[in-house]
Chain A
Amino acid sequence: MRSSAATLPGVAAAESDGRFSALLRRLRHLEPATLVWVVLVAVLLVLVVSPMAKLLLVSFETRGTGAFTLSNYVTAYGRERYLDALFNSLMLGGLSALLSLIFALPMAWAVSRTDMPFRGVTWGVVLGAFIMPPYLGAIGWILLAGPNAGWINQAWTFVTGDPDSIVNVYTFTGLALVIALNSFPFIFIFVKAALDMVSSEMEDAANILGAGAWRTMMTVTLPLVWPAILAGIIIVFLETMALFGTPAIIGIPARINVVTTQLWQFFEFPTRVEVAAAYAIPLLLITVALIAVQRLVLSRKGFVSQTGKGGERRPVQLGAWRWVLFGWCAFVGLLAVLMPLVVLLQASFAEAWGRGFSFDNLTLRNYYYLIFQHDMAMPSVWNTIYFSAAAATFALIIALLVAYIQHRKLVPFAGVLGFLAMAPFVIPGIVMAIGFYAAYASPPLALYGTAALMILAFTARFLPIAYANCSAAVRTVHPEMEEAVRILGGGRMRAIRSVVAPLMKKSLFGAWLIVFIIATRELSAAVFLVGPNTRTMSVMLYDLSEEGNFEVLSALGGILLVITVTLVAIGMKLLGRDFMLRRE
């Protein structure tokens, strides 16, 4: 029998010189987790607290002297143009959320609750819209609905002979529509997840009392998922408020100024960080407040849909209506994915995109130019992959440690770590970028234009996604799995190596992939922090859009899409169809 006595701390010694020995014993039994906790707190201070504190500080400082002042706020809100931008952002957020709801609600209900045909195709539409970078969708829609030259206007003129344009993307509605066509998946994901939890018995109960399918949906099913709908609306609203690419590409030519594009202007030479910081604070406050509302709404008890309990689920029989519903899903798919994709691909292979589909217009020159001749394009591809991979790796390591320490309650106040890791969730990317700029761009650190700054910012920005995924992964490993290792004689590190790591590797890889994919398309933080040698593909695309060279631009978009689709395909192959579209 293995004796435990040999490994016991000397009892005799403990008695003879109690205090010292007690201290030694305590040190020996100290979990390394405490040390890791200290390191993590330091890392999170650098990544989250310091940029935000600096943002706040700078907004109250006089440039150069650092003296306290309110003049930055006066400057930031002293002009009607700046106030208009805030108003425009709020309106744009509201309209985009409304349009997203109109797109997504029937789709979510149809996929979750009905016998509509081709539900898999509809699901593909949502995924397609979700992985399409917003600025690419915007460029697609410029090609489709630009005044005069846009495909839709050309077709209209061709069919009717009317030389006037019928659609114009450079309008407020056009902008909102393009954003909604990219954002509706958020509402779809939220609402479908909630609908998936509603038991058919809920609907049966209404049916047996005499309500038809329509009435049941309106009075029972939808009210049950109302919290999810509201949560989705809030997310789209906030995403729109924080969005930079689409408003910059469509809004600036259309002279529609919003908060993010206004912030961008504060950053143009001469850079006025302190004014930008002051101007960004309301955006931050609105986000924090609405996320709080969203949490409140989702945590309300009394909605069966949230409990996950319930009996059998049967699809609602729609009869002929199922084709109407499918028509709607197909229509949204056409607008959100298929049409922008086709015109982008056409432009990327065209001598001149306006000349349409013909063999003499076909060329590989755009791709050739980007890959072999353009001095910035390929470096931007490598930069994108490098920054995204590094940020995904760091974010995942930090998030995993935080999630593990928190779930295993290894140290007191582990909750602080989780809170800090989740905090960037309420910080719009653009605000975070200004914070990073204020904190780290100038001396003493002088990180401006370095890869380090980009990686730091990306890591902080995607920490919440990584943390949510890691939390879920840690929860799947029962603590007793590790305790079984320990009681049999293995230490915590051994438990992690032999059991925790092998059990979590798949879900961690999924989390890494999600962060990587989202990071490859990041624009709103990148655009504020890039230097001459740290351009990413997203920033390159934005620069090219300012030049108006849509063929080369589309080719670069094509390259980005190939990378994204490849990664998504790998993820789906390894981790299952839903790995990108789960509700976090």
Chain B
Amino acid sequence: MPRLVLKQIVKTFGAFTAVDHLDLDLADGEFVSLLGPSGCGKTTTLRMIAGFMPPTEGTIEIDGKILSSPSSVMPPERRGMSMIFQSYAIWPNMTVFENVAFGLKLRKLSGDEIRDRVGRILDVVQMGHLAGRYPSELSGGQQQRVALARAIVVQPAVLLLDEPLSNLDASLREEMRFEIRRLHDEFRITTVYVTHDQGEAMVTSDRIAVMNAGRIEQIDDPFSLYNRPRTRFVAGFIGRTNFIEARREANSVTFDGFAVPAGRFNGELDGRTGAVTFSVRPQNISLHGSQPSGTNGLALPGRIVERAYLGEFWDYVVAPADSGLRLRVVAPPREVFEAGQTVWIGLAPDQMTPLA
């Protein structure tokens, strides 16, 4: 049975619909990210799960019991959850120890047990030596660790994270992603993580729900989401991609300047006719100096239009011959082509994802 269930959640503010009939299930111990641009309703959804605002429609259930409905919202303090806030919300009037111990004191644990559990969790987040410090004496990263410890130490039914890394600098952000995932692997707390950073979502999550305009566009594990995006929004939001317009007519899919038999798309186009947009990742297109032999894909003659060297890879723009298409291609540093050079472009139909 799923742990946390959101059923047909709607949240409106006046005429504005922030969350639009959203459904979401989390299994026990699962880590799900809500990923989307600002204003997509992800933080609103999180705050409804926490009980800070009532849904306009729909229900939020945990273990089959209703926590939130339009008529009644259980207050946050009775939900047994915990949350990490964008501002960390570390209380500046308490030491690190007091901050972390706060939730345990509310649960009326004995002093010994509190000391024991706080000590252990502070060691886990490598803050044990700073237990007596006040938050103003800590760096941003250290405050973040205190926030993590404070949220995890109470062993919440659900852990909520609201863009917890957005106030950190880039290198620290990278480090903390792995830290969050490590803590999840250790404690297996059911977690909802709100972010607009796809990298964070991919590192930390079991599944990612990509949100747009109050709806979940697609929810999948990171690998599927990247390689099999279902909508144009998802394909464009997660990583870079080429959108290629085509038409399916009978057994053929016609692109600008070339055509592919429909059977080559592994049945993914079954039942579809008319206009289709494909997403092709730049690293799934290959470039060759001479016509490749024995490939299972297509090889189109073309020309390098632009190129840029970025150290870790080449970034090319190529134009297939007799076509208005411009394709972005990422190639390893050793594959050097000059601008204007004639090349062969390798496209594999199984790497071309038709979008809804």
Contacts and interface: CB of A to CB of B under 8 A. Distances in A.
Given A2-B157, A7-B78, A489-B77, A483 B65 contact: no
B140 to A, nearest CB: 15
Contacts of B86: 480
Interface stretch (B99-107, B115-123, B286-294, B341-349): B99-107
B231 to A, nearest CB: 33
Interface string A359-394: 000000000000000000000000000000000000
A486 B85 contact: no
Interface in B68-100: 71-83, 85-87, 89, 91-93
A94 B275 CA distance: 75
B62 interface: yes
Contact of A2 (B50, B77, B107): B107
Interface stretch (A21-29, A183-191, A350-358): A21-29
Interface string B192-210: 0000000000000000000
Contacts of B151: 488
Nearest to B79: A4
A488 B159 CA distance: 11
B223 interface: no
Is the contact region of chain A dominated by helix, strand, or loop, or is it mixed?
helix
Interface stretch (A131-139, A336-344, A497-505, A553-561): A497-505
B89 A484 contact: yes
Interface string A8-20: 1101001000000
A481 B91 contact: yes
Contact of A485 (B52, B73, B102): B102
Contacts of A25: 71-72
A208 interface: no
A27 B307 CA distance: 66
Contacts of A478: 87, 89
Contacts of A3: 80, 157
A487 B79 contact: yes
Chain B interface category by residue count: 35 or more
Nearest to A503: B93
A281 to B, nearest CB: 39
A31 to B, nearest CB: 9
B77 A490 contact: yes
Given A4-B157, A481-B89, A488 B65 contact: no
A489 B106 contact: yes
B166 to A, nearest CB: 13
A499 B76 contact: no
A494 interface: yes
Contacts of A7: 74, 78, 80
Given A26-B71, A483-B76, A5 B89 contact: no
A38 interface: no
Contacts of A2: 80, 107, 154-157
Contact of A22 (B71, B78, B91): B71
A26 B72 contact: yes
A491 B89 contact: no
B19 interface: no
A489 B107 contact: yes
Interface string A110-125: 0000000000000000
B143 to A, nearest CB: 12
A67 interface: no
A1 interface: yes
B338 interface: no
B63 interface: yes
B42 interface: no
B48 to A, nearest CB: 13
Contacts of A485: 77, 102
A363 B81 CA distance: 73
Contacts of B74: 7-9, 29
Contacts of B150: 484, 488
Residue from B71, B77, B83, B106 with most neighbouring chain A CB atoms (10 Å): B77
16 contacts: A1-B155, A4-B62, A4-B81, A5-B65, A7-B74, A8-B67, A480-B87, A481-B91, A483-B50, A483-B83, A484-B150, A486-B52, A486-B77, A487-B81, A489-B78, A489-B106
What are the 4 tightest A-B residue pairs by CB atom distance, in nearest-first order? A4-B80, A488-B103, A480-B89, A484-B89
Interface of B: 50-52, 62-63, 65-67, 71-83, 85-87, 89, 91-93, 102-103, 106-107, 150-151, 154-157, 160
Interface of A: 1-5, 7-9, 11, 14, 22, 25-26, 29, 478, 480-481, 483-491, 494, 498-499, 502-503
